[in-house]
Amino acid sequence: MRKLILTVTVALLTSGVSVFAANNLTNNNVDEIVVVVTNDDFKEISAKELPEAVSNAIIKNFPSATVNKLYVNGSEQYKIDLTIDKTDAVVYADKEGNWIEEGDVVTAE
């Protein structure tokens, strides 16, 4: 009789744990929001179109870099595609030659 009671108790406890685990696995966090910022409103420009302040900032801060491509957006912010010591990098600057973070780039709405 002891074995029967012990077996039933173990069976009940493990089935409860299994149901609890199954409920946790199916609980999706649908309240999470992922925001992806893209800077697609940049258009490619030539080096002649780059303001002198931005050119000077590139020369001062990245003297050994090679500029691959230049872009501008409607807010006169510049995206500069560089190669520095065989490593590709992208930096952003405003029209006065001040460096800005990618997250601070103003996109058209």
State the CATH number of the domain containing residue 95.
3.10.450
How much of the chain exceeds pLDDT 90, in percent?
Answer: 57
In a domain, 72, yes or no: yes
**What are the E-state strand segments in the chain?**
43-45, 66-72, 77-84, 87-94, 99-100
- Checking if the pLDDT of 65 tops 90, the result is yes
CA-based nearest residue to 97, from 48, 44, 60:
60
Which one is predicted more confidently, 102 or 37?
102
Report the largest interatomic distance among the alpha carbons of the chain, rounded to a whole angstrom: 94
Dihedral sign, CA of 21, 26, 29, 35? positive
- Cα–Cα distance for residue pair 42/29, rounded to 1 Å: 35
Provide the domain count of the chain. 1
To the nearest whole number, what is the mean pLDDT of the chain? 79
pLDDT per residue as tens digits for the range 23-61: 555 555 566 666 555 545 899 999 999 999 999 999 999
In a domain, 93, yes or no: yes
The parent domain of residue 47 ranges over 43-101
Q: Would you state the structure tokens that stand for residue 61, as one six-digit string?
A: 């801060």
In a domain, 58, yes or no: yes
